[in-house]
Structure 1
Amino acid sequence: MRRVTLLLATLFLSTGLSAADRPNILFIFTDDHCEQALSAYDPTRITTPNLDRIANEGMRFNRCYVTNSICGPSRAVIQTGKYSHINGFLQNGFAFNGNQPTFPKMLRKAGYQTAIVGKWHLESTPQGYDYYDVLKGQGPYYNPPMITAGENNRPVTRRHTGYTTEIITEKTLAWLKDARDTEKPFMLMYQHKAPHRNWMPAPKYLNWLDDVTIPEPETLWDDYAGRTASASRQTMTIKDHLTDNDLKLSGYGTMNAEQRKVWDAAYGPKNEAFQKARQAMSPEDLIRWKYQRYVKDYLRCVKSVDDGVGEVLDYLDESGLADNTIVIYSSDQGWYLGEHGWYDKRWMYEESLKTPLLVRWPGKVKAGTTNDDIVSNLDFAETFLDVAGVEIPADMQGRSLTPLLQGQTPDDWRQSFYYQYYENPGSHNVARHYGVTNGKYKLIHFYAYQGQAIDDWELFDLEKDPRELHSVYGDADYAEVQAQMQNELQRLRTLYQVTDDDPAARMRKKPAGKRKPRLKKAS
């Protein structure tokens, strides 16, 4: 025991921080949670008092961009601090190469206890964690199978009964209360499936919002006339592509008989009323009904997440851990709550490019502050390491957010951002594209669709056209801006070591990991 203590002391001293100085790190992560459904950003649809606590007691970032707006790739970027083309996880269905350097391995080596509970979605066994208990694949909303380390440290799958969001919170609290080593600082990733499709609420929220009309976004009726063909070729409209299962007109998922009974008591009367009214509905009425059903179920799922976050924050306060714990909240990307008539993500357009980021760090971050710098999920790994006093590897591609958290933006902080999306052919038919934004202008190149090369460009003036309805690419009045943005795009592609992407070759190539990619249903 004395040797272990001396070794930990040596590790702490090597970072320049004592054990008492090293904060615990709690990373709270959700799937597909957009700013429009978080009242710290937008109070028009829902109140999220517990998530808002993090913003009110810390900092809200207003321009957190993701590198690749889809579930698995976003998680791989966070693990590695590297873009998708470097870490090898370009699209869902790939298997993450866990043998590469990741921030939890580095924290563990430096004396942190590391744990992850909830959604993993990287197709491989988590590495670098002292404890993991993760959803199998995407995970259902009810009665989830979860994978953890069993005998001889081999992964075993265990089934659970209950609502997944609540189960993940219960497991997170159990680890914090009973399983962690209180002599070590910890890094805990508390990761929800919600509010991912198909938005199945908890029993207690099945009728919440029934008497409320959710405001429609201004672009719900977008006809895509002001952009290239890529915007209209997608298959993710509320009008045409939500299924009966999405709309709770059929299906029970993985519910047991008792859960189905509660479900039917809530949705049965509502569905019966809809079917009676359906024949008299105009096409516009039907879209409005679909929008209300979809958005309410989405918000109901968010409500359960907010409840769970509140339980965990309360425990930090009650246990005395809060004062020395940095709490970070984010999601894997943004999401469409009817903007442009859509659900889902994937695009470089604002609603899916931006993701929430809230940080509370007592004694370090001034309560109630905001930041408008361009930050990214590319920066999360570097931030975790920096907070812990661990040296950031030179080949990581992001930067630590700690100066920004303390109100000091470095003079050389990024003024523009590079994005690239690869999953086509794939769910929702969003063309492969890459681009650059500086917050004022955005240039996007759609370069491949259904395995064929295309050459569609869009340029947006975000100050004059914040909803991105009218591309000004090729407009003589924007010729100078267009040239500047194209130069900046090439500069960033060179900086981040981006190579040309041949879609046909990419679909033949084995991913970094174990096997060929397989296309999945929407994720």
Structure 2
Amino acid sequence: MLTKKNSFSILAIGAVVASSLVLFINSTKKQESALPPARPNIIFIFSDDHTAQAISAYGSKLTKTPNIDRIAKEGAILHTNVVTNSICGPSRATLLTGKYSHLNGYKLNEKVFDVNQPVFPEELQKNGYQTAWVGKMHLGSLPNGFDYLNVLPGQGHYYNPDFINSKNETVRYPGYVTNVVTKLSIDWLNQRDTSKPFFLVVGHKATHREWLPDAPDLGAYDNVNFPLPPTFYDDYTGREAAKDQDMTIDKTMRLKEDLKVHADYEKSGIFNRFTPEQKKPFYDYYENKISKEFDAKKLTGKALVEWKYQRYIKDYLSTARSLDRNIGELLDHLDKSGLAKNTVVIYASDQGFYMGEHGWFDKRFIYEESLKTPFVIRYPGVIKPGTQINELISNIDWAPTLLNLTGTTIPRGVQGESFLPLLTGKKVAWRKEAYYHYYEYPQPHHVYPHFGIRTDRYTLARFYEVKDFWELYDLKNDPQEMHNLYGSKGYEAITADLKAKLKKEIIHYKDDEALKIMESKL
């Protein structure tokens, strides 16, 4: 029989249990709130020489890139993402180290990257990440920090490419390089250690010279007549370095190797890797159609230059067509595998590229088409779809941002800053100037060494070694950088201010070589 005393005891016990339960629930909630969010996976799709002028998310009228655009639409697009040294290998070295070329030691292409220096994937490994790089790396060595490597040696080949793996073994894979890189990347995703978050670089050879399209994309733009850029016939008045370069479509671009007019399919290392089945559509298109058309026209002067321009743009965009298609295939795999929800996807190129502006192809200069590079990023639930970033972001910022995204400590030696706050809509103080330094001379394109800064309105550059001179451009009034204002009346105060800012940047980034030149009289 339940007595009053027993009833009171049971009620008291119940109250204690209820109170304990509340304390337990509250304690659990506190523990849950203190736990870090799930560490995201990261896929960094990194192409070669693919410029913003050829991406429709950036307003290109030349072509459509629906899959790159999809990343931008579902995340953020960086409109003023610049590089520190506009050339392939050094850009990759900057990605890995978060440092300028003068500190990571990789100033020029075709050198050997120092593998004894720290790279940010090592920090990811310490934080429990599995890391991999598939495709083009172009560093002349195999850096530390990767659990899996399967990379192209040097520039690699478009057809039936060789790959070097983590064991330093060379293996040839049949097929078109863009498709092969995607397949190997998806294979790694399917075979990885699923107990760990991952960081994967998908390194594409496209759209590097000599722009060999995949067979389905041959002639994709043959019915299009692309308008000449307004600066195509630039005469370089007042711009000595621009006048003395060797990167014009007119004089530098080669008919046989670059434009495939009567290409050598037997001896040339560019074209002799085809299987008979691969060679047939390629030969039919370039030899039986394009070369015959060229012979029949007997072009000279401006007609020849403009024909070369059309062929260049069509081959470039046809090569990029496969690149975008493969990005779509990778995005579809993430959707089907369930990885998309917690995977950061980035698409970027190693630098900008000229699409006939100033009559050029290639890159190297501090000028806009070369300096700026595309960067779009998607992170579901963290980056609001449709985010537009206009601040000056540099490729030294990529490494610390990736570390920040994953909750990984950023080493003190990294020179860049995380722009994650900008991606998530926070109002933060950000750089007003971006520093640049290019070194490679005279080969292959005879571009004078120079350093300088890009602000929201101006570009100031100091050319040195070959000839010493300055250039100044007002990007608001002269976005195509046709008028060198250095020394012009009325720009004395602006020039002095920019020089002071440049010197401050040089000292901040510890570029002793540039400082010595900066302090020399001119």
Provide TM-score, normalisation by structure 2: 0.89
Whether the aligned pair in 1 keeps the contact of 2:458 and 2:474 (CA below 8 Å) is yes
Q: What is the CA-CA distance between 1:432 and the residue it aligns to?
A: 0.2
Q: 1:415 pairs with 432, 445, 449, which one?
A: 432
What's the secondary structure of 2:334's corresponding residue?
helix
Separation (CA, whole Å) in 1 of partners of 2:446 and 2:342:
45
Whether the aligned pair in 2 keeps the contact of 1:17 and 1:389 (CA below 8 Å) is no
Q: What is the CA-CA distance between 1:476 and the residue it aligns to?
A: 1.6
Deviations, residues 351-399 of structure 1 (Å, cap 9, x unaligned): 0000001010101111112110000111111011111101111221101
Q: Which residue of the partner structure matches residue 173 of structure 2?
A: 160
What's the secondary structure of 1:477's corresponding residue?
coil
Q: What is the CA-CA distance between 1:493 and the residue it aligns to?
A: 0.3
Separation (CA, whole Å) in 2 of partners of 1:17 and 1:356:
35
Q: 2:290 pairs with 245, 263, 271, which one?
A: 271
| Paired residue type of 1:351 | E
Q: Which residue of the partner structure matches residue 137 of structure 2?
A: 120
Whether the aligned pair in 2 keeps the contact of 1:126 and 1:132 (CA below 8 Å) is no
What's the secondary structure of 2:465's corresponding residue?
strand
Q: Which residue of the partner structure matches residue 8 of structure 1?
A: none
Bigger Rg, structure 1 or 2: 2
| Paired residue type of 2:286 | Y
Q: What is the CA-CA distance between 1:25 and the residue it aligns to?
A: 0.6
Separation (CA, whole Å) in 2 of partners of 1:268 and 1:390:
53
Separation (CA, whole Å) in 2 of partners of 1:132 and 1:165:
17
Whether the aligned pair in 1 keeps the contact of 2:50 and 2:349 (CA below 8 Å) is yes
Whether 1:466 and 2:479 are equivalent positions in the alignment is: yes
Q: Which residue of the partner structure matches residue 48 of structure 1?
A: 65
Whether 1:299 and 2:317 are equivalent positions in the alignment is: yes
Q: Which residue of the partner structure matches residue 315 of structure 1?
A: 333
Q: What is the CA-CA distance between 1:98 and the residue it aligns to?
A: 1.3
Separation (CA, whole Å) in 2 of partners of 1:456 and 1:220:
24
| Paired residue type of 1:37 | A
Separation (CA, whole Å) in 1 of partners of 2:60 and 2:155:
29
| Paired residue type of 1:353 | L
Separation (CA, whole Å) in 2 of partners of 1:40 and 1:275:
34
Separation (CA, whole Å) in 2 of partners of 1:271 and 1:142:
20
Whether the aligned pair in 1 keeps the contact of 2:433 and 2:453 (CA below 8 Å) is yes
Q: 2:123 pairs with 106, 112, 129, which one?
A: 106
Q: Which residue of the partner structure matches residue 364 of structure 1?
A: 382
What's the secondary structure of 2:123's corresponding residue?
helix
Q: 1:22 pairs with 24, 39, 45, which one?
A: 39
Separation (CA, whole Å) in 2 of partners of 1:92 and 1:183:
38
Whether the aligned pair in 1 keeps the contact of 2:438 and 2:450 (CA below 8 Å) is yes
Q: What is the CA-CA distance between 1:456 and the residue it aligns to?
A: 1.3
Q: 2:454 pairs with 408, 421, 437, which one?
A: 437
Q: What is the CA-CA distance between 1:277 and the residue it aligns to?
A: 3.4
Q: What is the CA-CA distance between 1:255 and the residue it aligns to?
A: 1.9
What's the secondary structure of 2:58's corresponding residue?
coil
Whether the aligned pair in 2 keeps the contact of 1:316 and 1:322 (CA below 8 Å) is yes
Q: What is the CA-CA distance between 1:501 and the residue it aligns to?
A: 5.8
Q: Which residue of the partner structure matches residue 17 of structure 2?
A: none
What's the secondary structure of 1:448's corresponding residue?
coil
Q: What is the CA-CA distance between 1:459 and the residue it aligns to?
A: 0.3
Separation (CA, whole Å) in 2 of partners of 1:276 and 1:115:
47
Whether the aligned pair in 2 keeps the contact of 1:45 and 1:215 (CA below 8 Å) is no
Q: 2:76 pairs with 31, 47, 59, which one?
A: 59
Q: 2:370 pairs with 334, 340, 352, which one?
A: 352
Q: Which residue of the partner structure matches residue 186 of structure 1?
A: 198
Note closer, same or farther for the CA distance 1:17–1:92 as it changes in structure 2 (3 Å cut).
Answer: farther
Q: What is the CA-CA distance between 1:17 and the residue it aligns to?
A: 5.7
Q: 1:234 pairs with 245, 254, 278, which one?
A: 245
Whether the aligned pair in 2 keeps the contact of 1:348 and 1:444 (CA below 8 Å) is yes
Q: Which residue of the partner structure matches residue 21 of structure 2?
A: none
Separation (CA, whole Å) in 2 of partners of 1:326 and 1:165:
21
Whether 1:170 and 2:179 are equivalent positions in the alignment is: no
Whether 1:406 and 2:424 are equivalent positions in the alignment is: yes
Q: Which residue of the partner structure matches residue 497 of structure 1?
A: 510
Note closer, same or farther for the CA distance 1:272–1:102 as it changes in structure 2 (3 Å cut).
Answer: closer
Separation (CA, whole Å) in 2 of partners of 1:50 and 1:366:
18
Separation (CA, whole Å) in 1 of partners of 2:230 and 2:444:
26
Identity of aligned residues (%): 48
Q: What is the CA-CA distance between 1:230 and the residue it aligns to?
A: 0.9
Q: What is the CA-CA distance between 1:291 and the residue it aligns to?
A: 0.4
Q: Which residue of the partner structure matches residue 112 of structure 2?
A: 95
Separation (CA, whole Å) in 1 of partners of 2:329 and 2:227:
29
Provide TM-score, normalisation by structure 1: 0.89
Q: What is the CA-CA distance between 1:256 and the residue it aligns to?
A: 2.6
Comparing 258-267 and 455-464, the one that deviates more = 258-267
Whether 1:392 and 2:429 are equivalent positions in the alignment is: no
Separation (CA, whole Å) in 1 of partners of 2:109 and 2:137:
12
Stretches of structure 2 that go unaligned for 5 or more consecutive residues are 1-30, 517-522
What's the secondary structure of 2:345's corresponding residue?
strand
Stretches of structure 1 that go unaligned for 5 or more consecutive residues are 1-12, 504-523
Q: 2:226 pairs with 214, 223, 235, which one?
A: 214
| Paired residue type of 1:211 | N
CA RMSD of superposed structures (Å): 1.5
Q: Which residue of the partner structure matches residue 463 of structure 2?
A: 446
Separation (CA, whole Å) in 2 of partners of 1:110 and 1:137:
30
What's the secondary structure of 2:512's corresponding residue?
coil
Note closer, same or farther for the CA distance 1:71–1:219 as it changes in structure 2 (3 Å cut).
Answer: same
Separation (CA, whole Å) in 1 of partners of 2:350 and 2:461:
21
Separation (CA, whole Å) in 2 of partners of 1:272 and 1:147:
35
Q: What is the CA-CA distance between 1:487 and the residue it aligns to?
A: 0.4
Whether the aligned pair in 1 keeps the contact of 2:506 and 2:515 (CA below 8 Å) is no
Note closer, same or farther for the CA distance 1:502–1:156 as it changes in structure 2 (3 Å cut).
Answer: farther
Q: How many residues align?
A: 476
